[in-house]
Amino acid sequence: MGQSGLTCGSPANGTLVAAIAALLRRAIKVSRLSSALALAWLVCVAVPRAVEAANSAAGTLSLVHENDLFNHTDRNYTNGVQLSWVPGDSAPPAWALHIARQLPWFPRAGQLSHGYLFGQSMFTPHDITLPDPPQDDRPYAGWLYGTIALSSETGRQLDQFALTLGVVGPASMAEQSQKFIHKVTGSVEPRGWDTQLENELGIMATYQRSWRGLSTHPLNGLTVDLTPHLGGALGNVFTYANSGLTMRIGKHLPLDFGPPRIQPSIPGSGVYMPQGGEFSWYLFGGVEGRAVARNIFLDGNTFRDSRSVEKKPLVGDLQLGIVLDWSDARLSYTHVLRSREFENQRKNDGFGVITLTLLFSS
């Protein structure tokens, strides 16, 4: 697949573009036209440039965009973008593999793969028009990061280990990103970024184990499977333990663990294997509970004074979504409902996730 297959309006990939256009029309219905234009820019500009860089390589490229526009809100966790690349024809770096092998629970058997992720997330209080938000509301914060991830898959079990390094605070450029998009799209100007968390280096290790198909049943020509998972994160950005369950139902279920997501979340996988080389689809739903010991975006900076709120120690996620699979492309939409994360939070959160995954062969 070349770059030309992804430029907006290209006839070479008309089915995929039509599906994306349908999602954009949905965005227009559930929120402002300006937000849909921002999403269109992401799909039509960011994806082709990333594909150009990977044009001659074999592997899997994924773009994840999470935004609360689908929930008619602009607060709390308001936006996240993540780009990932999983090479298909190279071994994991020796140093990363050595670290993973030191973990007593990382499988010694299974198909090993590695990937690289780059992303940015932003968090805002309930009212972004206030230059000095209330002290008991979530502080402004941004998170810019890079990740190297390792996975081992045995067919029924997937283990994922990731090391993340990034920066919280003004250096994350979240303020510039949000103000730019809001200005271009004519949205309300966020006025309180002067109160955001201070610059801090963020380091985090995450581990997830998922078991696919512990219960698989045919249902009127469809297949149903269940995938429980267990894991956690350790670092000055997030520290938590998580557990949950995902159910899939569809035709020709691909060999995957759900679409990729931005952490913290119900885990997915950046790699998938289409079944039969034909179009397929599936619906999925999942639940997860997290016991949270550290969330820098609520607890505030680790080594210096900053704004903070009293976080809730237990957080739950509920997600529902659909995945559309072609032979070399996957498009998914997920809607997430998240319980309140801090004591004075007025309402539960909700946001939508659009994920585009492309397969490349050498």
At residue 231, the 3 state secondary structure works out as strand
What is residue 3's predicted lDDT score, i.e. its pLDDT? Answer: 33
SS3 at position 73? coil
What does the pLDDT look like over 281-304, one tens digit per residue? 999 999 999 999 999 999 999 999
Is-contact 187 35, C-beta < 8 A? Answer: yes
Residue type, 72: H
Residue 189: pLDDT above 80? Answer: yes
pLDDT over 70 percentage in the chain: 81
DSSP 133-144: --TTSPPPEEEE
Question: With contact defined as beta carbons under 8 Å apart, do 268 and 317 qualify?
Answer: no
What's the confidence (pLDDT) of residue 200? 97
Instruction: Note the pLDDT of residue 362.
Output: 67
Looking at 20-34, 86-100, 168-182, 201-215, which range is the least confident one? Answer: 20-34
Helix axes 14-30, 33-41, angle to 10 degrees: 150
What value does the mean pLDDT take over residues 209-228? 82
Stretch 258-270: mean pLDDT:
89
Average pLDDT over residues 37-65: 60
Q: Residue 273 in contact with residue 253, Cβ under 8 Å?
A: no
d(CA 31, CA 176): 22
Q: CA of 296: how far to CAs of 191, 237, 239, 293, in Å?
A: 21, 5, 9, 10
Which letter, b or e, does each residue of 177-192 get, where b requires 16 or more Cβ atoms within 10 Å of its Cβ?
bbeebbeeeebeebeb
pLDDT of 20 higher than 50 = no
Q: Are 166 and 143 in contact (CB under 8 A)?
A: yes
The reported pLDDT for the residue numbered 52 is 52
Average per-residue pLDDT for the chain? 83
Q: What is the pLDDT of residues 317-362, one digit of tens each?
A: 999 999 998 888 999 999 999 999 999 998 999 999 999 999 887 6
Which pLDDT score is estimated for 22?
52
pLDDT value, residue 14? 47
Q: What is the pLDDT of residue 73?
A: 79
pLDDT of 333 = 96
Range picked from 14-18, 51-55, 127-131, 179-183 for highest mean pLDDT: 127-131
Cβ pair 272, 325 in contact under 8 A: yes
Which pLDDT does position 9 carry in this prediction?
A: 40
Each residue's pLDDT tens digit, 156-178: 899 999 999 999 999 999 999 99
The distance in angstroms from the start CA to the end CA of the chain is 9
Q: What percent of the chain shows pLDDT beyond 90?
A: 55
DSSP string, 91-137: PPPHHHHHHHHTSTTS-SSSEEEEEEEEEEEEEE-S-TT-SS--TTS
Q: How many CB atoms lie within 10 A of CB 47?
A: 20
Average pLDDT over residues 50-54: 49
Average pLDDT over residues 90-110: 77
The per-residue pLDDT for 57 is 66
Q: Are 60 and 357 in contact (CB under 8 A)?
A: yes
